[in-house]
Amino acid sequence: MWYSLWVLISVVFIYLVKKIVQSEPNKIQFHFKFFIFYFAGSVLSAFIWPYFLLNPKNVKNAKLGAGLLKHISKVYGLKWELRRDDILSEDRGAIIVSNHQSSLDILGLFNIWHIADKLTAIAKKEIFYVWPFGLAAYLGGVVFIDRKNTKGAYKQLEVTAEAMNKKIKIWLFPEGTRNKDYTKLLPFKKGAFAMAIASQKPVIPVVFSPYYFINRKKYTFNKGHVIIQCLEPISTKGMTMNDVSTLTERVHEIMEKTYKDLSNEVFSALPHGYTHTLVG
């Protein structure tokens, strides 16, 4: 019985390895590449969260973890090009909003975390339960909200707004979910902009260019170049809650225009015959 089991395990293992290393893209290879990021994050979290207990919920913890995990980009052959880093590095409290295309957005964020310095993020509460990563994120100062509980979420956002008075920047994805359409942005939810107005802190739009190198239908995950464009901060001084919708629409319009410009730039720079996707 045990012999048969080991034979079966060996056969399955050899099959998986062949699929992972073969040159032709396939489903197993595609998902394994994403698994590398998740696995590395979990392993690091398992080792590092006890250290975070020395100073729990301090944003410096998250900066340390991000500095270690950002090197996974080298495994993928990904280049993150940050533009206007002077905007991100300024020592001030602010709301940072960016488009959301994939879990790789987090890896991109890890690569620029040290520039933003005092930074935290807003995440859905389900991520907290993905231990040990969720635990490490919590101890690193990440704020988890229940998107189904509107009153509770806004209360948590109000508490988080106090952090900006300590010159901490807060990163949010206002689309609320991953956008698989590489031609435009999804409508923005208003929470981030309500928080910015409530605290009278600026909104800093950040736009990631499309992940043209990932094609879920063809199971390709190639090397790639992602431009991260920081835009001029938008002041909320003097705004009231009556201006939330207007501010939301204004930021969305600016970011969508930038996203389309970056798309044209990235696609036009691809080698002749390179097949890219417009659907993530």
Pairing of the two strands 119-124 and 203-208: unpaired
Identify the pLDDT of residue 149: 65
How many degrees, rounded to 5, is the angle at CA 54 between CA 199 and CA 132? 85
Q: For 56, phi and psi rounded to 5 degrees?
A: -60, 145
| Tens digits of residue pLDDT in 46-56 | 999 999 999 99
pLDDT digits (tens, 9 = 90+) for 80-108: 999 999 999 999 999 999 999 999 999 99
- Cis peptide bond upstream of 202, omega within 30: no
DSSP-H helix ranges across the chain:
2-21, 27-52, 59-69, 72-76, 85-89, 104-116, 133-139, 150-161, 191-199, 244-268
Would you state the pLDDT for residue 154? 61
Do residues 191 and 97 touch, judged by C-beta distance below 8 A?
Answer: no
Q: What is the mean pLDDT of the chain?
A: 90
Q: Enumerate helices (H) and strands (E) in the chain, giving the number of each.
A: 10, 9
Residues 6+ apart with CB under 8 A from 81: 225, 226, 227, 228
218-245 pLDDT per residue, tens? 899 999 999 999 999 999 999 999 999 9
Domains of the chain (ranges; CATH) run 1-269 (3.40.1130)
**Range with the lowest mean pLDDT among 63-72, 123-132, 148-157, 163-172?**
148-157
Residue with tokens 């991520």: 127
Evaluate if residue 1 carries a pLDDT over 70. Answer: no
**Residue type at 198?**
A
pLDDT at position 272: 84
Q: Which two tokens stand for residue 238?
A: 């003097």
Flag whether pLDDT at 8 surpasses 80.
no
How many alpha carbons fall within 13 Å on the CB side of residue 212? 21
Query: How many angstroms separate the CA atoms of 65 and 62, rounded?
Result: 5
Query: Predicted confidence band at 151 (pLDDT cuts at 50, 70, 90)?
Result: low
- Do the Cβ atoms of 88 and 82 come closer than 8 Å? yes
Instruction: Say how far apart CA 198 and CA 83 lie, in whole Å.
Output: 28
> Is 139 in contact with 182 (CB distance < 8 Å)?
no
pLDDT computed for residue 11 by the predictor? 81
- C-alpha to C-alpha distances, 257 to 17, 75, 117, 123, nearest whole angstrom: 43, 32, 28, 26
Within a 13 Å sphere around the CA of 37, how many CA atoms are in the beta-carbon half?
19
95 contact partners, CB below 8 Å, separation of at least 6? 164, 169, 170, 172, 192, 193, 195, 196, 199, 201, 202, 203, 204
Measured distance CA(98)–CA(205) in Å, rounded:
6
